[in-house]
Structure 1
């Protein structure tokens, strides 16, 4: 139960992009500048703490550990809230060089290093941010982030190397020793930490204690697996243990498949921390750790690609479901309009069908009144008149009720439906039109037919539309003895109910028969040509089929079948 809650939460928000105003800015009356300063200080503290954690190796008083998580955190802030937060990176580099690294570099050189790093990554953030979706919801965004981070790392490594060589802190021979770990560390720091921070910011409005509690067991399991792999690699007692690095691909890919980009980001961060622990435990030097980090970079690119691909797939699935729901809504609206159009075409006959019993009831009421006022009034005759009047009123009410039910609007309602009573109700509506045209309707429906699971109103619409078309066809043929036959039968293999509507009207032209169920196809001038198309859609939504059995003049027949087993309309 908890696992399903987590999956619903992750699926519900993974493709939303929280706006900075809704996450990194207070909703109260605090000034914007005050909140910006508070945000900058918080990220500055995080940067310094991560610099302290990742300071392991140095070369000629320069940090060369290929892992720069603090840069990734501040780079995420610049991408999310603006390149102006590069000042946080500038101040962070100054404080880290003095308080954490305890460098002996002169102040001008320290300031120059801070300026190169801050300006370089601010420029990259400014350029990338213009085209980047901060939620990283598409593969293009991940590639753009990785490409931007790599470009920034190359740019900064180049200028730092030139600065240090110009100041004679490094010789050209030291360039490879220093620049490669710095380059790899910056790229991997951005690749691992920046997506994690961006996704965390995205999820801030949705994080709850219940979600964290439900998510905790899988995180604990993942940590256990990473520690197990770290321990196993450490047992090799050799610097060639990195050959077993491929073991980490399994948990990262599993996390990405289960939770998309969020799972990939968290899995990669935990894996990176595990590698950092392995470095401390086994005492690898910067060169070996660089080899690990290059492999980690490959793993990161793989995990992020899998994660964002899963996100895109889930987003596409949601879009498909949304459009399917929209399509069903539009189909329901079209069916509703078709029902109104069908009833409007029968309006004259229906009005007569209602007016006739009302007129009769009025006459019977007056007769009963007259009998009651006369001295020779017979109580039996009065009772007979009143009984007949009630029957006439009930008949009119039944017509109105059936018409109201037929025109009702709402979601499809599946229920157990008796086919014979369904056809009888339909004939109450269309029978008057048939009688007005002197057309006889025969019904051949066995009383022992099983029920079907359908939307009663939708199925009634199909029958009414077919009968109404038959009436039009008979009138168009000039047939004086029009006949319509409605038959139903139970068929097997597979078990299904088949209903047919046949008439002796003008028939259907062969050229029209092939596209009869396509929208806007009709042989009548004043018809929109949507009736049969909507009927076919209704039958298909019940997992059945509607077809033209015969289009011959005098023997036209439409048939459709419905499965007997219960099926929800699609």
Structure 2
């Protein structure tokens, strides 16, 4: 099954349920000889249509239900006409009110999703800001190499006779350094860009390496010993690459901050990735100051922060992202000192 097929299957099944239920209600409302507002059951159809997450679809289903109610009333040949008219009017009122409330609920959901996306983007920008100095250093190194090799190329070409071979090597080093600088800028741009959420196959091992490359300057300048244990058999997961990278980077940056606040002689950071066949587990272990007693259940709450001046939104956003991907976050003490933060994601069959 290709990635995204679940969504493509879910929607047709949803529409099949809506169609079948509407047809059943229409037939029952038309042939029954009971003088009851049977068409009020169309309210359930309208509520089911909310799962499409499309206001236009909700309006369409509400309109169709209203039309079926009127057609059923016109086709009914038995019973008291006045009672039938009253039941038809009651059903139309219930369908209209339900459709209106469903539209209001969906509008609120859309606004909430947009606000969450804005908050997540703000958190990513803040993460990039925290790494600003080390990122600038990562860019300045290849730029310095470009300048040095450019000067060398000019000297080799200005020699008598010109040394084309050495000049060519210097130019090749310039191209290589420019590529390294471009990679750093590209990773920062991809993380900080305001892009709509998109689902696709994600290679978590590759994503971990890219994320650590972003934080490499900060890790090196903080004199932290970084180790990685990335299993070779981790399959692709279904998810939003940028959002998952945000979660990993947030855990890594928090670990760096905790290590810097801890003992200077123990600065270890371990990032591991494994799978048990049903889920993948990513953990970030640090030798920092650790978790306060009883705080493991609070660290992912909104506006709870152990950092001086911290906003307490990074881990809360990370939890919402992971849970939206069907996973779970966790935090625990790391022995003999420090803490371990991580998350699990379900393995979904994903193919390009």
The interval holding the TM-score normalised by the smaller chain is 0.7 to 0.9
**What displacement does 1:255 show?**
8.5
CA contact (8 A) 2:296 2:332 kept: no
**What displacement does 1:553 show?**
6.5
**What displacement does 1:497 show?**
1.1
Separation (CA, whole Å) in 2 of partners of 1:549 and 1:317: 41
Q: Does 1:354 align with 2:145?
A: no
Partner of 2:274: 489
Match of 1:253 among 25, 38, 55: 38
Alignment map for 1:171-186 (pairs within 5 Å): none
Q: Secondary structure at the match of 1:526?
A: coil
Q: Does 1:523 align with 2:310?
A: no
Separation (CA, whole Å) in 2 of partners of 1:519 and 1:256: 40
Partner of 1:454: 239
Separation (CA, whole Å) in 2 of partners of 1:481 and 1:389: 38
Separation (CA, whole Å) in 2 of partners of 1:421 and 1:469: 21
Greater gyration radius: 1
Q: Secondary structure at the match of 2:312?
A: coil
Gaps of 5+ in 1: 1-7, 12-217, 230-245, 276-291
Separation (CA, whole Å) in 1 of partners of 2:92 and 2:349: 39
Separation (CA, whole Å) in 2 of partners of 1:502 and 1:377: 55
Identify which of structures 1 and 2 has the higher relative contact order when contacts are C-alpha pairs closer than 8 Å and 6+ apart: 2
CA contact (8 A) 1:406 1:457 kept: yes
Q: Does 1:313 align with 2:101?
A: no
Q: Secondary structure at the match of 1:512?
A: coil
Match of 1:535 among 318, 324, 338: 318
Partner of 1:88: none
CA contact (8 A) 2:138 2:217 kept: yes
CA contact (8 A) 1:474 1:506 kept: yes
Match of 1:504 among 269, 278, 287: 287
**What displacement does 1:305 show?**
2.9
**What displacement does 1:457 show?**
0.7
Separation (CA, whole Å) in 1 of partners of 2:253 and 2:141: 21
CA displacement, residues 372-413 of structure 1 (integer Å, 9 cap, x when unaligned): 111265433323322222221111110001111111212211
Gaps of 5+ in 2: 1-14, 46-63
Q: Secondary structure at the match of 1:247?
A: coil
**What displacement does 1:265 show?**
4.5
CA contact (8 A) 1:255 1:263 kept: no
Q: Secondary structure at the match of 2:33?
A: helix
Match of 1:545 among 300, 312, 328: 328
Q: Secondary structure at the match of 2:200?
A: strand
Separation (CA, whole Å) in 2 of partners of 1:553 and 1:413: 40
CA contact (8 A) 2:236 2:349 kept: no
**1:321/1:446 Cα in 2 relative to 1: closer, same or farther (>3 Å)?**
same
Partner of 2:223: 438
CA contact (8 A) 2:261 2:288 kept: yes
Partner of 2:190: 405
Partner of 1:94: none
CA contact (8 A) 1:371 1:377 kept: yes
Separation (CA, whole Å) in 1 of partners of 2:323 and 2:333: 20
Alignment map for 1:10-25 (pairs within 5 Å): none
Partner of 1:394: 179
Match of 2:341 among 520, 538, 558: 558
**What displacement does 1:361 show?**
1.3
**1:248/1:391 Cα in 2 relative to 1: closer, same or farther (>3 Å)?**
same
Partner of 1:328: 113
CA displacement, residues 412-445 of structure 1 (integer Å, 9 cap, x when unaligned): 1111111221111112211111111111221111
**What displacement does 1:318 show?**
3.0
**What displacement does 1:320 show?**
2.7
Separation (CA, whole Å) in 1 of partners of 2:263 and 2:153: 44
TM-score between both structures, scaled by the size of structure 1: 0.50
**1:512/1:551 Cα in 2 relative to 1: closer, same or farther (>3 Å)?**
farther
What count of residue pairs does the alignment treat as equivalent?
A: 307
Q: What is the root-mean-square deviation in Å for CA atoms of aligned residues?
A: 2.9
Q: Which has the higher helix share?
A: 1
Partner of 2:168: 383
TM-score between both structures, scaled by the size of structure 2: 0.78
Q: Does 1:342 align with 2:151?
A: no
Q: Does 1:513 align with 2:296?
A: yes
**1:309/1:550 Cα in 2 relative to 1: closer, same or farther (>3 Å)?**
farther
CA displacement, residues 85-142 of structure 1 (integer Å, 9 cap, x when unaligned): xxxxxxxxxxxxxxxxxxxxxxxxxxxxxxxxxxxxxxxxxxxxxxxxxxxxxxxxxx
